[in-house]
Amino acid sequence: MYLLTVKDGLVTRHVGPYVTPKDASEDLDRILSSCSERAHWQIHALESPSQRSFSERLIERGQVCTLAAS
């Protein structure tokens, strides 16, 4: 699944989900028609939380996570 993120000034819009990045890019013209000319956009791939845990993603990036409960 993919999510289209459009930043227009101080406003951030998240549109989707889309099945493929092609679907998101095809919808981009419709979304940008309501935005200013300076709007920025990105297409993000969504992960299923059950696939990888937060700690697994940190380990993959070479970062360390230390948690403590109080």
Model pTM? 0.61
pLDDT digits (tens, 9 = 90+) for 7-26: 999 999 999 889 999 999 99
Three-state SS for 24-51 is HHHHHHHHHCCCCCCCEEEEEECCCCCC
- Give 4's pLDDT tier (boundaries 50, 70, 90): very high
pLDDT digits (tens, 9 = 90+) for 30-70: 999 989 999 999 998 887 666 677 777 777 788 777 777 76
pLDDT at 49: 63
Q: Cβ distance 14 to 27 under 8 Å?
A: no
